[in-house]
C-alpha cells in the first residue's frame, strides 16, 4: 500500500499542473466573488465639514453615522477628501453641515447607493426628531424617547431553530469560500482517481495484481492519495483566505477539519462509483464536469440553498454530499456548532461514502 | 514445476480457451505459439493468476494456484504485451517501484536495479523519462521490471511486438541468457515463429483456444519429415496456375504467398520438372525457385491450414 501511495505522489510531482490549476481556480473564483469589497467588508467614507459646521454638531453627526456596522465615517480635511475621490481611492466623500449634508461622488457605484440611503436615513430621522423636540419640551422629549426605545410596548422577535434572530445568517464571503472550494475539490479528487482507470488501460494494474500485493492494498494506496490531495486542497484554500484575506472561519477548527475529511471521503467514494459505472477514462473526463456542476448547483455551492423554494430542487439537494458539506462547514464556522449539532450532516456524508464506495468497488471488480 | 489441467475460460458464452493441458519443467524454455486470437494471452493470464479459469486448475510444484494465488505471485515475473509502465517517471523510478512491491529495499534494491538495467542495456539512460524512450527501449524496461525480484518463472507475452530489429535482438539474447545461464524457467508466447525456434526447447501450438500440437522443435518438424517445401517466386499472380497445381496429384498443398507460391510436396518426389511444365503452359514467368526443409511455420500451416500472422 505504501509503495502504491508513494508512487502517486511521485506521479503528482512530475505532473502537478492539473491539481494546482484547480487550487488556482478556487483561489481566483473566491477572490473575485468574495475577496474584495463584499458586503461584510468595512467601507470607509471620507467625511469633512462645511466651514459653518459647529464642533458640537460635527461630533453629534459622526457619532450617529458611525452607529452603522459596516460603515466607518472618517473625519479628514476637505482637500484630502477631494484628492481621495478624484484619484478613486475613495468612491465618495461626505460633507457635513449643521442640518444638512452633501455627497461628493466621482462615479456611481453599487456601494455608493447604500451609503447614500444610509446617510439620508440618519439625517431625516434626526431632523424629524429635532423638529418634534422643538415643538415639545426638548430635553424631556428626548429622555422620554430614549426610555420608550429601551422598553418598547411591543417587541417583535424572530427566531430560527438555530436560536438566532433571523431565519438564517448569510455570510457571503464564507458561502463563496466554502462553495467554490468544495466545488473545485470534486474535480481534483475525481481526476486524481482516474489514475486507477488509466492504470487499468495501460496494464500496470494487471502487473500489480500478479504481484504479491493484495488488491485492497492497491485500492487503499490510490484512495488515500486521492483523499489527501482533495483534503489538502480544501485546507490550503481555507488557510489562504483566512490569513491573507481575513475571512472569519470561527474557532471550531477541529470541527472544520472533521467536516472536510468526511466530505472528501464522500467525494472519493462517489468518484469510485462513477468509475465503476463508466467504461473508459475518457468517459470519466466527460462525466466529472457535468456531475460537479450539477452537484454544486443543486447542493447550494453557487447560491445559498435557503433562497431556493422549489420543492423538487430542495429534495434533490438532499442527495448531494456538497449540501451536507456546506451545511456542516457553515454550522461550525458561523453558528459555532460542535459535534452534537453536526452529527447529522457528518453521518449522512459518511453513510453516502460507504454506500458509494461499496457499490463502486463492486462494479469495478465485476468488470475486471 | 508448473502444469495446467484442462484449463477452460468462457467469456460471455464465447470459449476463449478450451481444455488446455501443458507442463513446464524447471529451467525449461517453452514456447506458446499461435496466431492472434488463439487464446495465448488468456492462457497465460490464467497461469499468472490474473484471471480465474471457468474450469480446470493451474498447479505450481503440485499446489493449486487457484486456491492460493500467492504461491505463484512471489516467484513469477510477467512481461505483458503492452508497455505497462508509468511513462511520466524515469526508468529508474519505475524499477524502484516494481522492486518495492516485491519487498526489495535499500542496497539490495539498488543493486538489483543496476543489474537489470545492465542486462537490458539501459544503465546509461536510467534517469530519463520513460515516455521519451523509443518503443524498443520501453519494451526493455518493461522486461527489466519483471526480472528485478529474480523470479523462478518468467512469462513473456509477445514481448517484441512493434519494435526495431536491434531491440528485438537484445531482448531475445537477454531471454536466452537468463534461461541458459541463470536457469530461469521461461514461458514465451509469440506469433513470430523464428523467435520461438530460436529461444524455446519445447513448443505448444495453440489455435481456436486449444493445444493442437506440442513437443520439441524437432518432434514438431517431424510431423512434416516426409515432406519438403518448394518456394516459387513469380512475376505476377496466376490464378489458373494455382488451380492446376492444386489438382496436381503429387502436390499435397498449394499456398499463394506474397511473391508467388509455396508448395508442400513429398520428400524426394522430383516434381520440379512437371511444375515447370505447368508453369510454361500458363506462360508464367518464374523468377526464383527454392527447395527447403520444413519450418515450424510450415508445421503450423499444415495443422491449421492458415499462416501464423493471419
What proportion of chain B, given as a percentage, has pLDDT over 90? 12
Q: Do B26 and B118 fall into the same domain?
A: yes
How is residue A32 annotated by DSSP?
I
Q: Do A206 and B97 touch (CB under 8 A)?
A: no
The predicted structure's pLDDT at residue B86? 92
Q: What ipTM goes with this model?
A: 0.75
Tell me the average pLDDT across A112-138.
Answer: 82
Percent of chain B with pLDDT strictly greater than 70? 97
Question: Average pLDDT of chain B?
Answer: 86
B164-191 confidence digits (pLDDT tens): 788 888 888 888 888 888 888 999 888 7
Lowest mean pLDDT among A183-197, A335-349, B94-108, B295-309: B295-309
* Domain total of chain B: 2
- Final residue in a domain of this structure, among B170, B195, B221: B221
Compute the distance between CA of residue B66 and CA of residue B50 in angstroms, rounded to an integer: 10
Interface test with A, best of B41, B83, B84 (most A CBs within 10 A): B84
B230 occurs within a structural domain: yes
Say which range, A5-19, A138-152, A199-213, has the weakest mean pLDDT. Answer: A138-152
Which residue of B76, B86, B88 is in closest CB contact with A210?
B76
Q: Do B100 and A207 touch (CB under 8 A)?
A: no
Q: What residues make up the domain containing B146?
A: 2-221
Q: Which pLDDT does position B207 carry in this prediction?
A: 86
Residue B51 lies in a domain: yes
When the pLDDT of each residue in chain A is averaged and rounded to a whole number, the result is 84
**Residue whose entry in the numeric block shows the C-alpha cell 454530499:** A321
Instruction: Give chain B positions within 8 Å (CB) of A4.
Output: 101
Q: Answer yes or no: do B206 and B246 share one domain.
A: no
The answer to whether residues B237 and B94 belong to one domain is no
Q: What is the mean pLDDT of the segment spanning B28-56?
A: 88
User: A15: nearest CA in chain B?
Assistant: B88
CB–CB of A210 and B145 under 8 A?
A: no
Residues of B in contact with A203 (CB under 8 A): 80-84
| Domain match, B209 and B234 both | no
Does B7 share its domain with B133? yes
The CA distances from residue B166 to A336, B121, B124, B159, in Å, are 70, 11, 17, 14
**B100 and B193 co-located in one domain:** yes
Residue A297 has pLDDT above 70, yes or no: yes
Q: Looking at the partner chain, which of A10, A15, A208 has a beta carbon nearest the beta carbon of B101?
A: A208
pLDDT band for position B305 (cuts 50, 70, 90): low
pLDDT in tens, B204-261: 988 888 888 888 877 777 776 677 788 899 999 998 999 988 888 888 888 888 888 9
Whether the per-residue pLDDT at A37 is higher than 50: the answer is no
Give B293 to chain A, closest Cα distance, Å.
40
Pick the range with the lowest mean pLDDT from A207-211, B93-97, B294-298.
B294-298
pLDDT digits (tens, 9 = 90+) for A40-74: 456 788 999 988 888 888 888 888 888 877 788 88
Q: Which fold has domain A43-150?
A: D-Maltodextrin-Binding Protein; domain 2 (3.40.190)
Task: Sort strands A101-105 and A92-96 into parallel, antiparallel or unpaired.
Answer: antiparallel
Burial B34-48 (b: 16+ CB within 10 A, else e): bbeebbbbbbbbbbb
Is the domain of B273 the same as that of B126?
no
Query: Is the CB of residue B191 less than 8 Å from the CB of residue B208?
Result: no
**Bridge partner residues of B213 (DSSP):** B205
- Looking at residue A111, its pLDDT comes to 67
Antiparallel, parallel or unpaired: β A71-75 and A43-49: parallel
Pairing of strands B63-64, B55-60: antiparallel
Local structure of residue B274 (DSSP, 8 states): H
- The pLDDT-based confidence of B309 (bands split at 50, 70, 90) is low
Q: How far apart are the first and last CA of chain A?
A: 20
Let me know whether B57 and B35 are in one domain: yes
B44 falls within a domain: yes
Interface-testing mutation among A194, A211, A222, with chain B (most B C-beta atoms within 10 A): A211
Residues B235, B140 share a domain? no
Span B282-301, average pLDDT: 82
Q: What is the DSSP string of A156-172?
A: -----TTSSSSS----H
Same domain membership, residue B158 and residue B26: yes
Asked if residue B306 is part of any domain, the answer here is no
B74 to A206: CB separation less than 8 angstroms, yes or no: no
- Tell which of A210, A213, A216 to mutate to test the B interface (max B CBs under 10 Å): A210
- What Cα–Cα distance (Å) separates residue A287 from each residue in A113, A186, A277? 44, 12, 10
- Residue-level pLDDT at A365: 84
Distance in angstroms (rounded) separating the CA atoms of residues B302 and A306: 79
Would B114 be classed as within a structural domain?
yes
**Beta carbons of A211 and B50 less than 8 Å apart:** no
First to last CA, chain B: 33
Q: Residue B299: pLDDT above 90? A: no
What was the pLDDT predicted at A64? 87
Answer whether B84 sits within 8 Å of A213, measured CB to CB.
no
What was the pLDDT predicted at A162? 53
Residues B214 and B244 in one domain: no
Same domain, B127 and B193: yes
pLDDT tens per residue, range A338-354: 888 889 999 999 999 99
- Domain locations along chain A: 2-36+171-367, 43-150
Nearest Cβ partner for B48 among A7, A203, A210: A210
Domain end position, chosen among B197, B221, B245: B221
Domain containing residue B86: CATH number: 3.40.50.300
**Chain B residues within an 8 Å CB radius of A206:** 50, 80, 84
Amino acid at each position: 500500500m505504501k509503495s502504491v501511495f508513494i508512487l502517486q505522489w511521485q506521479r503528482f510531482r512530475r505532473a502537478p499542473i492539473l491539481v494546482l490549476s484547480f487550487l488556482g481556480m478556487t483561489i481566483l473564483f473566491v477572490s473575485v466573488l468574495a475577496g474584495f469589497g463584499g458586503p461584510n467588508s468595512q467601507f470607509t467614507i471620507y467625511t469633512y465639514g462645511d466651514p459653518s459646521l459647529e464642533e458640537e454638531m460635527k461630533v453629534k453627526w459622526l457619532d450617529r453615522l458611525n452607529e452603522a456596522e459596516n460603515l466607518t465615517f472618517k473625519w479628514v480635511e476637505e482637500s484630502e477628501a477631494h484628492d481621495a475621490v478624484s484619484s478613486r481611492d475613495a468612491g465618495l466623500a461626505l460633507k457635513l453641515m449643521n442640518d444638512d449634508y452633501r455627497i461628493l461622488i466621482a462615479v456611481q457605484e453599487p456601494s455608493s447607493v447604500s451609503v447614500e440611503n444610509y446617510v439620508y436615513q440618519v439625517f431625516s430621522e434626526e431632523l424629524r426628531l429635532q423638529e418634534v423636540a422643538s415643538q415639545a419640551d426638548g430635553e424631556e422629549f428626548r429622555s422620554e424617547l430614549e426610555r420608550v426605545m429601551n422598553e418598547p410596548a411591543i417587541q417583535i422577535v424572530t427566531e430560527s431553530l438555530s436560536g438566532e434572530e433571523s431565519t438564517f445568517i448569510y455570510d457571503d464571503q464564507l458561502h463563496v469560500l466554502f462553495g467554490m472550494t468544495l466545488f473545485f475539490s470534486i474535480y481534483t479528487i475525481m481526476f486524481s482517481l482516474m489514475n486507477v482507470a488509466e492504470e487499468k488501460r495501460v496494464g500496470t494494474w494487471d502487473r500489480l495484481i500478479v504481484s504479491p500485493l493484495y488488491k485492497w492494498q492497491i485500492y487503499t494506496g490510490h484512495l488515500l492519495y486521492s483523499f489527501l490531495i482533495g483534503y489538502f486542497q480544501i485546507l490550503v484554500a481555507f488557510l489562504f483566505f483566512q490569513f491573507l484575506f481575513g475571512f472569519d472561519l470561527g474557532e471550531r477548527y477541529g470541527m472544520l477539519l472533521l467536516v472536510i475529511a468526511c466530505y472528501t471521503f464522500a467525494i472519493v467514494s462517489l468518484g469510485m462509483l462513477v468509475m465503476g459505472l463508466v467504461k473508459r477514462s475518457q468517459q470519466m473526463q466527460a462525466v466529472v464536469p457535468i456531475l460537479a456542476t450539477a452537484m454544486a448547483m443543486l447542493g447550494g455551492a453557487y447560491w445559498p440553498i435557503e433562497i431556493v423554494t422549489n420543492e423538487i430542487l430542495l429534495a434533490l439537494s438532499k442527495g448531494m454530499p456538497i449540501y451536507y458539506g456546506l451545511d456542516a462547514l457553515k454550522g461550525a464556522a458561523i453558528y459555532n456548532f460542535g459535534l452534537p449539532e453536526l452529527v447529522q450532516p457528518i453521518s449522512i456524508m459518511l453513510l453516502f461514502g460507504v454506500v458509494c464506495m461499496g457499490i463502486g468497488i463492486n462494479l469495478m471488480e465485476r468488470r475486471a | 514445476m508448473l502444469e495446467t489441467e484442462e484449463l477452460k475460460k468462457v467469456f460471455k458464452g464465447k470459449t476463449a480457451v478450451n481444455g488446455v493441458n501443458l507442463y513446464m519443467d524447471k529451467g525449461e524454455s517453452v514456447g506458446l505459439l499461435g496466431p492472434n486470437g488463439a487464446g495465448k494471452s488468456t492462457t497465460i493470464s490464467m497461469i499468472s493468476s490474473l484471471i480465474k479459469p471457468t474450469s480446470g486448475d493451474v498447479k505450481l510444484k503440485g499446489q493449486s494456484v487457484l486456491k492460493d494465488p500467492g504461491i505463484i505471485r512471489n516467484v513469477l515475473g510477467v512481461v505483458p504485451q503492452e508497455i505497462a509502465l508509468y511513462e511520466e517517471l524515469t526508468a529508474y523510478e519505475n524499477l524502484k517501484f516494481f522492486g518495492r512491491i516485491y519487498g526489495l529495499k535499500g542496497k539490495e534494491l539498488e543493486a538489483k536495479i543496476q543489474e537489470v538495467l545492465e542486462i537490458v542495456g539501459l544503465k546509461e539512460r536510467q534517469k530519463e523519462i520513460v515516455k521519451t524512450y523509443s518503443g524498443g527501449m520501453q519494451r526493455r524496461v518493461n522486461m527489466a521490471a519483471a526480472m528485478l525480484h529474480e523470479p523462478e518463472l518468467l512469462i513473456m507475452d509477445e514481448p517484441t511486438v512493434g519494435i526495431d530489429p536491434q531491440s528485438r535482438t537484445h531482448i531475445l539474447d537477454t531471454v536466452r541468457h537468463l534461461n541458459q545461464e541463470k536457469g530461469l524457467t521461461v514461458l514465451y508466447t509469440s506469433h513470430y515463429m523464428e523467435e520461438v525456434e530460436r529461444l524455446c526447447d519445447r513448443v505448444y501450438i495453440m489455435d481456436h483456444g486449444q493445444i493442437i500440437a506440442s513437443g520439441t522443435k524437432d518432434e514438431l518438424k517431424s510431423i512434416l519429415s516426409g515432406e519438403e517445401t518448394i518456394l516459387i517466386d513469380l512475376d505476377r499472380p496466376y490464378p489458373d496456375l494455382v488451380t492446376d497445381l492444386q489438382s496436381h496429384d503429387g502436390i499435397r498443398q498449394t499456398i499463394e504467398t506474397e511473391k508467388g507460391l509455396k508448395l508442400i510436396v513429398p520428400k524426394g518426389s522430383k516434381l520440379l520438372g512437371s511444375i515447370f511444365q505447368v508453369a510454361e503452359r500458363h506462360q508464367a514467368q518464374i523468377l526464383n525457385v527454392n527447395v527447403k526443409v520444413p519450418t515450424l511455420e510450415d508445421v503450423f500451416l499444415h495443422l491449421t491450414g492458415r499462416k501464423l500472422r493471419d
